[in-house]
Chains A and B, each alone.
Chain A
Amino acid sequence: MKLGYYPGCSLKGGSREYKESVVAVCRKFDIHLVEVPDWNCCGATAAHNMNKELSLALPARILAQAESAGLDEIVVPCAACYNRLKVTQHEMAHQPELAEKVKAILGMEYKGSTSILNIIQLIEKYILPNLDDHYYRPFNYKAACYYGCLLVRPHSILQFDRAEDPQTMDEAIRKIGGTPVDWEFKVECCGAGMSVSRTDLVAKLTGKVVENALYRKAEVIIVACPMCHSNLDMRRPDVNKYLGVETTIPVLYITQAIGLAVGIDEKTLGLQRHFVPVHLPERNEIVDMPAELVTTQGKEE
């Protein structure tokens, strides 16, 4: 199966392991990712902090590029890019005057017809239904699924999952044999765009997230956003300083967790690239496993 793909800058740079795990998992499930040709940066927080039209024109160019390449459905693994693309598509569709302005700036044809998937939607739609075919071992850990802001808000536009307490990532973790913990900070903000310019703020916000995950006895934090990842992982020394304890809870991309469950090796998934080392205990026995997975497991062995 072919699927359009917008990696975005983070996946090409600081979040290489996310790209690696996305690509590896998709390959395993016979999803052929076709990159949007000559794509540009979506502008991220910077653009819409500084200039409205710019913040729309950059994502619109990406969508226009996808359209011209005939990609009707694209997956956008980076939550920030996903958010910018979706919001742009929505605003262009609902504010015709603004749309005209942006199209003029763009100087390209733009229809706005591309269907945009985030990584969790891709997993829900194309991975989980075929999970049985590749299931290798349970991802048998207590996981705090961290959605953050950009995947779920604004709810009125993204219409993704239920507000305040989303469940789809938890559901995916459950399907691969994990136990999602019920925790309070799954949609709190990590500080995202302040990562470089206000590290102190990020340490505080991210610190609260890590603390709550640990309080709820999570063994691993699962994310679907490069910004969340870098704040939770790369910024961990600052976080630890804020919390006053040495926390070691690893932070995995959802695709890395799935990758492990379907038997992709750690290196391919880029686990070695994390700052907080990923030492998940070997645990192949089935504890707290949902019944339907117990049978799957039996079949595999």
Chain B
Amino acid sequence: MARIGVFICHCGENISATVDCAKVANTIAKINGVAYSTDYKYMCSDPGQTLIKDAIREKHLTGVVVAACSPRMHEPTFRKAVAEAGLNSFLCEMANLREHVSWVHEKAESTTQKAIDIVRTLVEKVKKNQPLDPIKVPVTKRAVVIGGGVAGIQAALDIANCGHEVVMIEREPSIGGHMSQLSETFPTLDCSQCILTPRMVEVAQHPNITLYTYAEVIGLEGFIGNFKVKVRKKSKSLDEDLCTGCGLCTTKCPVKKIPSEFEQGLGFRPAIYVPFPQAVPNKPVIDRINCTYYTKGKCRVCEKVCPTKAIRFDQEDEIVDIEAGALVLATGFNILKTNFFPEYGYGKYKDVIDGLQFERLASASGPTLGEIRRPSDGKVPEKIVFVACAGSRDPAKGIEYCSKICCMYTAKHAMLYKHKVHNGEAYVFYMDIRAGGKNYEEFVRRAIAEDDAKYVRGRVSTIYERDGKLIVKGADTLLNGRPVEIEADMVVLATAGIANHGAEELAQTLHVSYDAYKFFAEAHPKLKPVETNTAGIFLAGACQAPKDIPESVAAASGAAVKVAALFSNDELTRDPLVAVVNRFGPPLFSTCVGCFMCQPVCPYQAIEKEEIKDRAGNVFKVLAKVNPGLCQGCGTCVALCRSKSIDIYGYTNQQVYQEVVALLNE
């Protein structure tokens, strides 16, 4: 005979303000099989939990229903408490009286009645609950970090320094990401390359880190602790072991005028190239789209000049599978290009550039060796207009969010310009200055007060060219919207930060959710900022939303800790709420007819074929079987099975049936 204990929580006033909790407890107490029923202000608190534990021991309960908030919030809490009192934790169920009742209804008789009905169904369900044991799976203690920008580098080093193996996968020929393109960093103005390069080298030399550059993730199988990551290592047309990185080939390549990705189109590179001098690895790749040999079948100059004979024209892409226990996504972001803006000339004015291009102009290693010269004619601009919020906070352009980093880097740009061109004038058109961060506001104030950056509050309506100048038409909203027209030599648009190209495809490959802007979605905006909804896959840096360097690094370390915590166990336990195809044996009988309708519908490829053999070892039928390691308990197969041979532990057909009957029986 069942002896169920029911515990109604007030959730402070969250529930009790609209639900008569005492009445619920009293009504439930009268149900057959309920041995104990009570209400309490905070069931999740220590005394609350003690109340439950004591009741289990004293009343010899066989099942527990806690009627409180969402099970997403506190199911683990109560199941743990129940286990501590000696009851199997899966004999505890939660009724959600907060989200499902008190928060969505007014105080009323019927509200309390709804609460009673919900608790009643759970009481009937729990009577049919079976004790279950968690599933244990082994953990592969190797992490894959996708993306080799500052976030990926930080995550990889942190994990590797905990003693775990890391495989870093970078799409470009070198790691370093956007940070390697930056000149100086706010708010301290230290040189970006100087602080990043040592860490890039550390990645390359770390005994625990394997680096695949020019490589992309193309597939993912498995689950937390047991992933199989499929990677395409694009052919570099190079034997990396032989190459010494002397760079002779890159100087001799006859194709020289390819706009350099690293220089944001402001400089050129050859077809066989190393993206920048401090690249890691410092070995070239052949860009086959632009190489004369691949396009026209002739040339092979690099092959001829290479002293170690390392060029391999016939090298093919290589596919590798990596077993890993966890993944860190650190694929970064991108920015809108100037051609996105009709009102600013659709990208046709050479001297209207974006923020990253300005970084290259200001960088000592950039195409102008750190001198601010405008792209059209190489003149030093006497007047620069910086336009903040170019595309950001602009629903008309499809981007509602604030890109977060532009206020700061625009102030930095104005400052760098004024430091380099002393009599230059810097105008900044802005809407708000968002400088929340350590020493950030002070930095912006310095740009305005000490370096005389002229801030004008208003958006720029249009830009056009006239006599070699760019006419910028804005307004000063602090002077009653007065139109302001500035003749500038150069305009820098702080264009919106957007999801990196390929982000959506990657998210789909990895089964990671993403938001409307194709940034990867965290599991909880506050409490699980580096987790994704897919267990074992973590987020670091700007692939989640625009972030500056300190934030990206912090998130990366956060993700690394999550990985390290996962790897601190040899085995993982999972809730056993998985599907099973019934078996009555021995010998193995089942109502499964082997139609395998369930197989294609399973989103996790968890349904396998099991051969049933007779005593002589001959196969006499093939039945469906669910791999408990892969099954996520979604129940799709259950709904589909014609012969009703599949059940989900914790939500069996019988349990659900009891719940429905309880509702109908009122």
Direct contact of A and B (CB under 8 A): yes
Residue B276 at the A interface, CB < 8 A? no
**Which A residues are in CB contact (< 8 Å) with B345?**
165
Residue B466 at the A interface, CB < 8 A? yes
Q: Complex formed: what's the CA distance from A163 to B343 in Å? A: 8
Taking A163-B342, A164-B342 as known contacts, 11 extra A-B pairs with beta carbons closer than 8 A to each other, sorted by chain A number, are: A162-B342, A162-B346, A163-B343, A164-B343, A164-B462, A165-B342, A165-B346, A182-B348, A184-B465, A184-B466, A215-B466
Q: Are A164 and B346 in contact (CB under 8 A)?
A: yes
**B contacts with A: majority SS:** mixed
Q: Which 10 A-B pairs have the closest CB atoms?
A: A164-B342, A184-B464, A163-B342, A164-B343, A165-B346, A165-B342, A162-B342, A184-B465, A215-B466, A164-B346
Chain A proximity of B521: nearest CB distance (Å): 30
Chain A proximity of B169: nearest CB distance (Å): 39
Chain B proximity of A205: nearest CB distance (Å): 14
Chain B proximity of A66: nearest CB distance (Å): 33
**Which A residues are in CB contact (< 8 Å) with B465?**
184
Chain B proximity of A117: nearest CB distance (Å): 24
Q: Which residue of A lies closest to B467 (CB)?
A: A215
**Which B residues are in CB contact (< 8 Å) with A162?**
342, 346
**Which B residues are in CB contact (< 8 Å) with A215?**
466
Q: A residues touching B (Cβ–Cβ < 8 Å)?
A: 162-165, 182, 184, 215
Q: Which residue of A lies closest to B396 (CB)?
A: A156
Q: Which residue of A lies closest to B343 (CB)?
A: A164
Q: Complex formed: what's the CA distance from A184 to B348 in Å? A: 12
**Bitwise interface map of B from 445 to 468 toward A, beta carbon under 8 Å scored 1, else 0:** 000000000000000001011100
**Which B residues are in CB contact (< 8 Å) with A165?**
342, 345-346
List B residues 458-501 near A (Cβ within 8 Å): 462, 464-466
Chain B proximity of A111: nearest CB distance (Å): 31
Supply 15 A–B pairs (Cβ within 8 Å), ascending by A. A162-B342, A162-B346, A163-B342, A163-B343, A164-B342, A164-B343, A164-B346, A164-B462, A165-B342, A165-B345, A165-B346, A182-B348, A184-B464, A184-B465, A184-B466
Chain A proximity of B276: nearest CB distance (Å): 35
**Which A residues are in CB contact (< 8 Å) with B343?**
163-164
Q: Which residue of A lies closest to B465 (CB)?
A: A184
**A contacts with B: majority SS:** loop
**Which B residues are in CB contact (< 8 Å) with A163?**
342-343
Q: B residues touching A (Cβ–Cβ < 8 Å)?
A: 342-343, 345-346, 348, 462, 464-466
Chain A proximity of B320: nearest CB distance (Å): 45
Q: Complex formed: what's the CA distance from A282 to B546 in Å? A: 59
Chain B proximity of A164: nearest CB distance (Å): 4
Q: Which residue of A lies closest to B341 (CB)?
A: A164
**Which B residues are in CB contact (< 8 Å) with A182?**
348
Chain A proximity of B390: nearest CB distance (Å): 15
Q: Which residue of A lies closest to B471 (CB)?
A: A184
Q: Complex formed: what's the CA distance from A163 to B344 in Å? A: 11
Q: Complex formed: what's the CA distance from A11 to B550 in Å? A: 65
Q: Complex formed: what's the CA distance from A257 to B643 in Å? A: 77
Chain A proximity of B576: nearest CB distance (Å): 54
Q: Which residue of A lies closest to B463 (CB)?
A: A184
Chain B proximity of A160: nearest CB distance (Å): 14
**Which A residues are in CB contact (< 8 Å) with B346?**
162, 164-165
Q: Which residue of A lies closest to B462 (CB)?
A: A164
**Which A residues are in CB contact (< 8 Å) with B348?**
182
Q: Complex formed: what's the CA distance from A205 to B436 in Å? A: 43
Q: Complex formed: what's the CA distance from A190 to B587 in Å? A: 91
Q: Complex formed: what's the CA distance from A164 to B466 in Å? A: 17
Q: Complex formed: what's the CA distance from A164 to B346 in Å? A: 9
Q: Complex formed: what's the CA distance from A185 to B93 in Å? A: 70
Q: Complex formed: what's the CA distance from A165 to B343 in Å? A: 8
Q: Which residue of B lies closest to A156 (CB)?
A: B396
Q: Complex formed: what's the CA distance from A198 to B464 in Å? A: 27
**Which A residues are in CB contact (< 8 Å) with B466?**
184, 215
**Which A residues are in CB contact (< 8 Å) with B342?**
162-165
Q: Which residue of A lies closest to B342 (CB)?
A: A164
Q: Complex formed: what's the CA distance from A165 to B462 in Å? A: 12
Best-surrounded residue of A162, A163, A164, A182 (most CB of chain B within 10 A): A164
Chain A proximity of B607: nearest CB distance (Å): 49
Chain B proximity of A258: nearest CB distance (Å): 27
Q: Complex formed: what's the CA distance from A251 to B163 in Å? A: 78
Chain A proximity of B39: nearest CB distance (Å): 51
Chain B proximity of A201: nearest CB distance (Å): 15
Q: Complex formed: what's the CA distance from A182 to B348 in Å? A: 11
Q: Complex formed: what's the CA distance from A68 to B444 in Å? A: 66
Q: Complex formed: what's the CA distance from A184 to B346 in Å? A: 12
**Which B residues are in CB contact (< 8 Å) with A184?**
464-466
Q: Complex formed: what's the CA distance from A215 to B471 in Å? A: 14
Q: Which residue of B lies closest to A155 (CB)?
A: B342
Chain B proximity of A170: nearest CB distance (Å): 14
Q: Complex formed: what's the CA distance from A164 to B348 in Å? A: 13
Chain A proximity of B339: nearest CB distance (Å): 11
Chain B proximity of A251: nearest CB distance (Å): 22
**Which A residues are in CB contact (< 8 Å) with B462?**
164
Q: Which residue of A lies closest to B464 (CB)?
A: A184
Q: Complex formed: what's the CA distance from A215 to B465 in Å? A: 11
Chain B proximity of A147: nearest CB distance (Å): 13
Q: Which residue of B lies closest to A183 (CB)?
A: B464
**Which B residues are in CB contact (< 8 Å) with A164?**
342-343, 346, 462
Q: Which residue of B lies closest to A162 (CB)?
A: B342
Chain A proximity of B146: nearest CB distance (Å): 37
Q: Which residue of A lies closest to B344 (CB)?
A: A164
Q: Which residue of A lies closest to B345 (CB)?
A: A165
Q: Complex formed: what's the CA distance from A164 to B345 in Å? A: 8
Q: Complex formed: what's the CA distance from A165 to B346 in Å? A: 8
Chain A proximity of B348: nearest CB distance (Å): 8
Q: Which residue of B lies closest to A215 (CB)?
A: B466
Chain B proximity of A46: nearest CB distance (Å): 27
Q: Which residue of B lies closest to A188 (CB)?
A: B462
Chain A proximity of B469: nearest CB distance (Å): 12
**Which A residues are in CB contact (< 8 Å) with B464?**
184
Chain B proximity of A209: nearest CB distance (Å): 13
Chain A proximity of B133: nearest CB distance (Å): 60
